[in-house]
Structure 1
Protein backbone atom coordinates (compact mmCIF):
# COMPACT_ATOMS: atom_id res chain seq x y z
CA UNK A 1 0.00 0.00 0.00
CA UNK A 2 2.79 2.44 0.91
CA UNK A 3 4.48 1.78 -2.43
CA UNK A 4 1.24 2.53 -4.28
CA UNK A 5 0.88 5.83 -2.47
CA UNK A 6 4.49 6.76 -3.14
CA UNK A 7 4.05 5.85 -6.82
CA UNK A 8 0.93 8.00 -7.08
CA UNK A 9 2.73 10.89 -5.45
CA UNK A 10 5.83 10.51 -7.62
CA UNK A 11 4.00 9.90 -10.91
CA UNK A 12 1.06 12.28 -10.55
CA UNK A 13 0.99 14.60 -7.58
CA UNK A 14 4.57 15.85 -7.59
CA UNK A 15 4.13 17.09 -11.16
CA UNK A 16 1.14 19.26 -10.21
CA UNK A 17 1.60 22.97 -9.61
CA UNK A 18 1.80 23.99 -5.92
CA UNK A 19 -1.71 25.49 -5.91
CA UNK A 20 -3.24 22.24 -7.16
CA UNK A 21 -1.26 20.22 -4.61
CA UNK A 22 -2.60 22.52 -1.89
CA UNK A 23 -6.13 22.01 -3.21
CA UNK A 24 -5.62 18.25 -3.11
CA UNK A 25 -4.22 18.43 0.43
CA UNK A 26 -7.22 20.54 1.48
CA UNK A 27 -9.64 18.00 -0.01
CA UNK A 28 -7.89 15.13 1.77
CA UNK A 29 -7.77 16.91 5.14
CA UNK A 30 -11.40 18.06 4.89
CA UNK A 31 -12.43 14.49 4.07
CA UNK A 32 -10.56 13.19 7.12
CA UNK A 33 -12.16 15.85 9.32
CA UNK A 34 -15.64 14.89 8.08
CA UNK A 35 -14.94 11.23 8.82
CA UNK A 36 -13.84 12.11 12.35
CA UNK A 37 -16.96 14.21 12.92
CA UNK A 38 -19.15 11.33 11.68
CA UNK A 39 -17.40 8.95 14.10
CA UNK A 40 -17.97 11.35 16.98
CA UNK A 41 -21.63 11.83 16.06
CA UNK A 42 -22.13 8.07 15.87
CA UNK A 43 -20.55 7.75 19.31
CA UNK A 44 -22.95 10.35 20.69
CA UNK A 45 -25.88 8.57 19.03
CA UNK A 46 -24.95 5.42 20.96
CA UNK A 47 -25.53 7.23 24.26
CA UNK A 48 -29.01 6.72 25.70
CA UNK A 49 -30.36 10.20 26.29
CA UNK A 50 -33.95 9.22 26.92
CA UNK A 51 -35.86 10.66 29.85
CA UNK A 52 -36.78 7.21 31.14
CA UNK A 53 -35.26 6.30 34.50
CA UNK A 54 -34.73 2.62 35.11
CA UNK A 55 -35.19 1.14 38.56
CA UNK A 56 -31.41 0.94 38.82
CA UNK A 57 -31.12 4.68 38.02
CA UNK A 58 -33.65 5.49 40.73
CA UNK A 59 -31.90 3.23 43.25
CA UNK A 60 -28.54 4.86 42.47
CA UNK A 61 -30.02 8.32 42.95
CA UNK A 62 -31.68 7.37 46.23
CA UNK A 63 -28.46 5.81 47.53
CA UNK A 64 -26.42 8.87 46.57
CA UNK A 65 -28.96 11.22 48.17
CA UNK A 66 -28.97 9.15 51.36
CA UNK A 67 -25.15 9.05 51.52
CA UNK A 68 -24.94 12.77 50.86
CA UNK A 69 -27.50 13.49 53.59
CA UNK A 70 -25.65 11.34 56.12
CA UNK A 71 -22.34 13.04 55.30
CA UNK A 72 -23.88 16.52 55.40
CA UNK A 73 -25.71 16.09 58.68
CA UNK A 74 -22.76 14.29 60.30
CA UNK A 75 -20.57 17.25 59.41
CA UNK A 76 -23.19 19.67 60.76
CA UNK A 77 -23.32 17.78 64.09
CA UNK A 78 -19.51 17.94 64.38
CA UNK A 79 -19.56 21.71 63.90
CA UNK A 80 -22.17 22.28 66.64
CA UNK A 81 -20.26 20.32 69.27
Structure 2
Protein backbone atom coordinates (compact mmCIF):
# COMPACT_ATOMS: atom_id res chain seq x y z
CA UNK A 1 0.00 0.00 0.00
CA UNK A 2 1.55 3.36 -0.97
CA UNK A 3 1.97 6.23 1.46
CA UNK A 4 -0.54 8.20 -0.62
CA UNK A 5 -3.24 5.64 0.13
CA UNK A 6 -2.35 5.60 3.82
CA UNK A 7 -2.76 9.39 4.06
CA UNK A 8 -6.18 9.60 2.36
CA UNK A 9 -8.83 11.61 4.13
CA UNK A 10 -12.33 11.80 2.69
CA UNK A 11 -14.33 14.95 3.26
CA UNK A 12 -18.07 15.27 2.55
CA UNK A 13 -19.01 17.77 -0.14
CA UNK A 14 -22.73 17.78 -0.75
CA UNK A 15 -23.65 14.18 -1.52
CA UNK A 16 -20.15 13.32 -2.73
CA UNK A 17 -16.78 12.80 -1.09
CA UNK A 18 -13.47 14.19 -2.26
CA UNK A 19 -9.93 13.34 -1.23
CA UNK A 20 -8.31 15.89 1.07
CA UNK A 21 -4.50 16.06 0.98
CA UNK A 22 -3.16 15.30 4.45
CA UNK A 23 0.53 16.17 4.11
CA UNK A 24 2.27 19.37 3.08
CA UNK A 25 3.80 17.60 0.08
CA UNK A 26 0.38 16.42 -1.09
CA UNK A 27 -1.07 19.93 -0.71
CA UNK A 28 1.83 21.30 -2.72
CA UNK A 29 1.53 18.64 -5.44
CA UNK A 30 -2.25 18.90 -5.77
CA UNK A 31 -2.80 22.64 -5.28
CA UNK A 32 0.19 24.93 -4.86
CA UNK A 33 2.32 23.80 -7.80
CA UNK A 34 -0.53 24.78 -10.16
CA UNK A 35 -0.57 28.40 -8.90
CA UNK A 36 1.19 31.27 -10.64
CA UNK A 37 4.41 32.72 -9.22
CA UNK A 38 2.48 35.67 -7.84
CA UNK A 39 0.07 33.37 -6.04
CA UNK A 40 3.03 31.38 -4.66
CA UNK A 41 4.36 34.60 -3.14
CA UNK A 42 0.96 35.56 -1.74
CA UNK A 43 0.59 32.12 -0.15
CA UNK A 44 4.10 32.27 1.31
CA UNK A 45 3.34 35.72 2.74
CA UNK A 46 0.11 34.50 4.33
CA UNK A 47 1.86 31.49 5.88
CA UNK A 48 4.84 33.49 7.18
CA UNK A 49 2.63 36.24 8.60
CA UNK A 50 0.59 33.63 10.42
CA UNK A 51 3.73 32.02 11.84
CA UNK A 52 5.09 35.38 12.98
CA UNK A 53 1.81 36.10 14.77
CA UNK A 54 2.01 32.80 16.66
CA UNK A 55 5.53 33.26 17.95
CA UNK A 56 6.26 34.47 21.42
CA UNK A 57 8.68 37.39 21.51
CA UNK A 58 12.12 36.21 22.64
CA UNK A 59 12.92 36.96 26.23
CA UNK A 60 16.01 39.11 26.37
CA UNK A 61 18.19 39.42 29.42
CA UNK A 62 18.49 43.17 29.78
CA UNK A 63 20.29 43.15 33.10
CA UNK A 64 23.38 45.28 33.53
CA UNK A 65 25.38 42.56 35.23
CA UNK A 66 28.23 40.73 33.49
CA UNK A 67 28.41 37.02 34.02
CA UNK A 68 31.76 35.31 34.47
CA UNK A 69 31.37 33.91 30.94
CA UNK A 70 30.84 37.45 29.57
CA UNK A 71 34.00 38.64 31.31
CA UNK A 72 36.05 35.70 30.00
CA UNK A 73 34.78 36.34 26.46
CA UNK A 74 35.74 40.01 26.71
CA UNK A 75 39.24 39.23 28.00
CA UNK A 76 39.81 36.63 25.27
CA UNK A 77 38.62 38.99 22.56
CA UNK A 78 40.78 41.83 23.93
CA UNK A 79 43.89 39.66 24.12
CA UNK A 80 43.37 38.31 20.59
CA UNK A 81 42.80 41.82 19.24
CA UNK A 82 45.92 43.12 20.99
CA UNK A 83 48.00 40.22 19.71
CA UNK A 84 46.88 40.83 16.11
CA UNK A 85 47.24 44.60 16.34
CA UNK A 86 50.64 44.78 18.03
CA UNK A 87 52.34 41.67 16.62
CA UNK A 88 54.53 43.82 14.31
CA UNK A 89 55.43 46.47 16.90
CA UNK A 90 58.92 46.05 18.35
CA UNK A 91 59.52 46.37 22.05
CA UNK A 92 56.19 44.97 23.10
TM-score (norm 2): 0.37
TM-score (norm 1): 0.42
Larger RCO, structures 1/2 (Cα 8 Å, 6+ apart)? 2
More strand by share: 2
